[in-house]
Amino acid sequence: MNTIHVEHQNILVVFPHPDDEAFLVSGTLAMYIGAGAQVTYACLTLGEMGRNMGIPPFANRVTLPAIRKEELAASCRAIGIQDLRMLGFHDKMIEFEDQQLLDDQIMMLLKELTPSLVITFYPGYSVHPDHDATGAAVIRTIARLPVVEQPLVHCIAFSSDHEKMIGKADVTIDVTAYLAKKMESIQSHRSQFQAAELVGERDLNDEEIQSRFGTEQFWTYRFD
Amino acid sequence: MLPIHPQDIQFQIDRLAGQDLFLHLEVSSGAYANHLDSSRPPASAFISNAVIRYTQGSISGTGPYRVGLKTEQGWIYAEGLTHVDEFETEQLIMAGHDTQGKLIVALQLGQNRF
Ligand SMILES: [Zn+2]
């Protein structure tokens, strides 16, 4: 059951890796877009240090960035995302990046788009250092806005201790109606999705797809 | 990528010896190692676009392969190499993949930066 019924005009999604959007929020975004939202996806890197190269491997370290760029664009088309921004940071290096540079780019997007909803990772509970550093930059930047200008922030969290630390998700979205788009988005990431911990090499049946991908969850970030 | 044939690699190593080259060297357990299996601490390292020059080098083992390159001041070493990119004269792109196809090691040499 959906726990959210708010309509959003402009939504900004900030993640570091092509495919973060596919597994985590593609159904939710397709839902909002179906209701008329404009979505901007700021993807910080090209995932060029990713270890999945396709099964059997068809990509290598040199060709991976261009391949993942194409995959990302295809995934956005599948979801219906109108505005994809590739910010050009180096994969795995977000936590070491010049914070001012990072924050300035996020601030520019916030000023330009004035989103009512921002979706990012929950800093500290998102496993990959790039995820945590991206979420931290977004939260840090939004915290600098006057309170009345602060958008709603929905975070993704999946570290093994997240529920103990921040409780259960307060936003649960049933994306059953958008599973076709979600699977198309996931499968756009040809070099990635066959990895065992993602989808695997075997075709999944409808029940498996429903139970693994049918629900998306978010934690509303509290700035106070 | 193609499975490594050591004699082709040796030929390319010899061809690229004695000149300034860009090096990308990497090993990676992946950032999710510990999340997926708490007995596996993550360990990764990479250096990208270091300029190096080696005087001699060779590939050894029966696969996965090892490569050692002797530089004027030291050594460059990689173990676990299984695949090579289609040959281009000015570069040598090698990687090692685990049984799931994930990259675990990469050794790249090229006249142009990566
Ligand atoms: Zn990611």
pLDDT category of residue A19 using cuts at 50, 70 and 90: very high
Task: Using an 8 Å CB-CB cutoff, list chain B residues near A58.
Answer: 1
**CATH value at residue B22:** 2.70.180.10
pLDDT of residue A57: 87
Q: Is A52 helix (H, G, I), strand (E, B) or coil?
A: strand
What is the C-alpha to C-alpha distance for residues B27 and B2, in angstroms, rounded to an integer?
19
- When CB atoms are compared, the residue of B24, B36, B104 closest to A197 is B36
And the tokens for A132?
């945590």
What is the C-alpha to C-alpha distance for residues A43 and A69, in angstroms, rounded to an integer?
10
Architecture of domain A10-220: 3-Layer(aba) Sandwich (3.40)
Task: Using an 8 Å CB-CB cutoff, list chain A residues near B36.
Answer: 197
pLDDT category of residue A1 using cuts at 50, 70 and 90: very low
The ranges assigned to domains in chain A are 10-220
pLDDT of residue B39: 77
Average pLDDT over chain A, rounded to an integer: 94
pLDDT tens-digit readout, A111-152: 999 999 999 999 999 999 999 999 999 999 999 999 999 999
Residue A5: pLDDT over 70: no
pLDDT tens-digit readout, A54-83: 988 899 999 999 999 999 999 999 999 999
pLDDT of residue A3: 54
Neighbouring residues of B85: CB distance < 8 A, sequence distance ≥ 6: A60, A62, A63, B1, B2, B91, B93, B94
Q: Provide the domain count of chain B.
A: 1
Q: Kindly provide the ipTM of the predicted complex, given to two decimals.
A: 0.77
**Highest mean pLDDT out of A36-40, A196-200, B33-37:** A36-40
Task: Using an 8 Å CB-CB cutoff, list chain B residues near A52.
Answer: 101-103
Given a cut of 70, the residues of chain B with pLDDT beneath it are: none
pLDDT of residue A2: 57
Q: Give the residue numbers spanning the domain of B49.
A: 2-110
Share of chain B above pLDDT 90, in %: 75
Q: Is B32 within 8 Å of chain A by CB?
A: yes
Dihedral pair phi/psi, residue A35, rounded to 5°: -90, 5
The Cα of B109 is separated from the nearest Cα of chain A by a number of Å equal to 11
Question: What burial letters (b/e) apply to A82-121, b meaning 16+ CB within 10 Å?
Answer: eebbbbebebbebbebeeeebbebbbebbeebebebbbbb
